[in-house]
Amino acid sequence: MRTDTYIPRRLDDNWKLGFWDIDVAAPVLLAFFIGYLAGTKTAFAACLAAGIAVSRWISRLKADKHPAFAIHWLWWHLPATPLTALRATPPSHIRRMVG
């Protein structure tokens, strides 16, 4: 009863789109979509060039960092939901009672 069992070596790899990580390919895809919606060739070329530039900047930024650097950065710098990002409410680490 001998069977060949495949044991995966990489369970926690980042999502990929072809050869590129999803966080590097997303700006190009978003710029491609916005340029397509613009309807002119010059706007399409400008949006695509901007998307490639942002993508290269992100890839250089995360070059010597953890593979999930972009996800960690988004987690710490963006609010959980737009509805909970109120400037009038204090941060959750302030525990002082008023009244």
Distance from the first to the final alpha carbon of the chain: 74
Sign of the Cα pseudo-torsion (84, 71, 50, 63, in order): positive
Could you give the CA distance from residue 25 to residue 54 in angstroms, rounded to a whole number? 10
- Domain spans in the chain, listed from the N-terminal domain onward: 14-64
Could you give the CA distance from residue 33 to residue 30 in angstroms, rounded to a whole number? 5
List, for residues 25-35, the tens digit of each pLDDT value. 999 999 999 99
Average pLDDT over residues 42-61: 93
pTM: 0.63
